[in-house]
Homo-oligomer: A and B are copies of this chain.
Amino acid sequence: MSRSRKDTTVRRDEILRATVRHVEQSGIHAVRMADVAADLSVSTSLVLYHFKNKEALIAEAFTWAAQRDLEKLDRLTADVATAPERLRTALAWYAPTGQAKGWRLWIEGWAAALREPELRQVGRELDLRWKEALVAIIQDGVHTGEFTAPDPRGAAWRITAFLDGLAVQALVHGGVQNRERMQAWARRHVAQELGLAG
């Protein structure tokens, strides 16, 4: 039985994916190298073979997740024509909904970023790129006259902040209560920012 020997690229990817899964579930510190390894039916040593140490593994895992998220955003909005539609799509993806696995990861990331400069860098990058994407959409809509935004960059910034806050409320404080209401509020906030019909 071929003990499933894999190409480095592939294996690394698997490991990162598994790591992200575990971090989402248990948080950075609770994840053990052994957990990640077990998840792939592989020895702990192999993980260390591919990643210098736990710190590096975690850092790369966050980077990987950020990369993946941004790519997904691109993919989702790529073939959407109008600005309002692109906006709707982007927000539907970003806004905290369901159990929002992704958000757990990033909330965990925020805390970690407070102390690890490397992680802060990654988080900042993701945040920045997301905002850029949002700005692009907004400016697009402004050009076509569908949106009204004196300060697209500021608007994107504020929308992002509001959504981040929603995420905290939803995942940390929120009972499972009224997802609809939250979404309505998000919509309203965006509408106000972009001068749409409330």
Contact = CB atoms under 8 A, between A and B. Distances in A.
A104 B160 CA distance: 19
A166 interface: yes
A61 B53 CA distance: 31
Contact of A173 (B104, B124, B166): B124
Given A164-B168, A173-B127, A110 B113 contact: no
B185 A158 contact: yes
Given A166-B161, A168-B164, A173 B114 contact: no
A27 interface: yes
A172 B112 CA distance: 9
Describe A's contact surface by its main secondary structure. Answer: helix
Nearest to A158: B185
Interface in A147-176: 154, 157-158, 160-166, 168-169, 171-173
A112 B114 CA distance: 14
Contacts of A163: 165
Contacts of A113: 172
A30 B29 CA distance: 10
Interface of A: 26-27, 29-30, 104, 107-108, 110-115, 120, 123-124, 127-128, 154, 157-158, 160-166, 168-169, 171-173, 181, 185, 189, 192
What 6 A-B pairs come out closest when comparing CB atoms? A161-B165, A165-B165, A111-B111, A164-B165, A29-B29, A127-B173
26 contacts: A27-B112, A27-B115, A107-B114, A108-B111, A110-B111, A110-B172, A111-B111, A113-B172, A114-B171, A114-B172, A120-B172, A123-B173, A124-B173, A127-B172, A127-B173, A128-B173, A157-B185, A160-B165, A161-B162, A161-B166, A162-B162, A162-B165, A165-B165, A165-B166, A165-B168, A168-B168
